[in-house]
Amino acid sequence: MSKFDSSPFSEEAKVMLAGFRARVLALTKSELSLRRDDYREFAELCTLFLDGVEDDSIVTFKRPGALHKARWMAKLLYSINICLLDKYISQLPRGTITTPQQVAKVREFVNFATLLYSEWWMTCSSAVDAPWHDLQLVHNLLKYKTVSPNVADSALRASKQHLSYLTAEMIPLALFSSVVPMHERRGLADKLLSIQPVAPSGGSTVATIWNRIWYLPNPVPNR
């Protein structure tokens, strides 16, 4: 099978990709017991593509199903399968499944999906960790420019189109996250406590809600 190959990249990129690979393999190992259906298959294929499967393990492939927007993860699954089975597909008549030009682009996409996107996707179910993981994804995409500038720039542009949900109300969730470093949470808490909420004229329950959420020892008075 044609698995992930870091040989075409620079030495700096190889070190960075090795770190991405190690984190993803550690995550998929813990996630396999929690996932099912397409999500489990995605974790299994990531492990296989990144060469994290033990030599004596039995590898099986599921029969392809529907490919439509309601089952969007199918695009990821089939792309990884195409890369893994590239040697067998190349023996078929030209253009039966893919062309040589398409294979290179699919592999570039699968490298990104397994090394970067998979870690973000498999951790996105935790609301308190979401702010931190979103920030780490952006940082990783910036680093990924040394590997594939086109893919990194495209992913960053797509991410910027979904910033509308990053509201101020999401920020305090990071205080309850165990993955955010303690010094980061302390700095965030200090910054939040230094902000005085502004209530509309005539009085409001905004300050009351703020006090209830944060249990401030010195309640913020309604104005």
Q: Where are the domains of the chain?
A: 1-122, 126-167, 181-214
Q: What would the pLDDT profile of 87-113 be if each residue is shown by its tens digit?
A: 888 888 887 888 878 888 999 999 999
Confidence at residue 71, expressed as pLDDT on a 0 to 100 scale: 66
Give the model's confidence band at 208: pLDDT under 50 very low, under 70 low, under 90 confident, else very high.
Answer: low
Confidence at residue 17, expressed as pLDDT on a 0 to 100 scale: 93
Give the model's confidence band at 220: pLDDT under 50 very low, under 70 low, under 90 confident, else very high.
Answer: very low
Share of the chain above pLDDT 90, in %: 26
- Report whether pLDDT(166) > 80: no
For range 48-60, the mean pLDDT? 79
Higher pLDDT, 196 or 4: 4
Give the model's confidence band at 121: pLDDT under 50 very low, under 70 low, under 90 confident, else very high.
Answer: confident
Confidence at residue 112, expressed as pLDDT on a 0 to 100 scale: 94
For range 121-145, the mean pLDDT? 88
- Report whether pLDDT(216) > 50: no
* Total-model pTM: 0.77
Confidence at residue 21, expressed as pLDDT on a 0 to 100 scale: 94
DSSP the chain: ------TTS-HHHHHHHHHHHHHHHHHHHHHTTT--HHHHHHHHHHHHHTT-S-TT-----PPP---SGGGTHHHHHHHHHHHHTHHHHTTSPTTSS--HHHHHHHHHHHHHIIIIIHHHHHTTT-TTTHHHHHHHHHHHHHHGGGT-HHHHHHHHHHHHTTGGG--GGGGGGGGG-SSS-HHHHHHHHHHHHTPPP-PPTT--SHHHHHHHHHT-SSPPPP-
Q: What would the pLDDT profile of 18-36 be if each residue is shown by its tens digit?
A: 999 999 999 888 877 767 7
On average, the pLDDT of the chain sits at 81
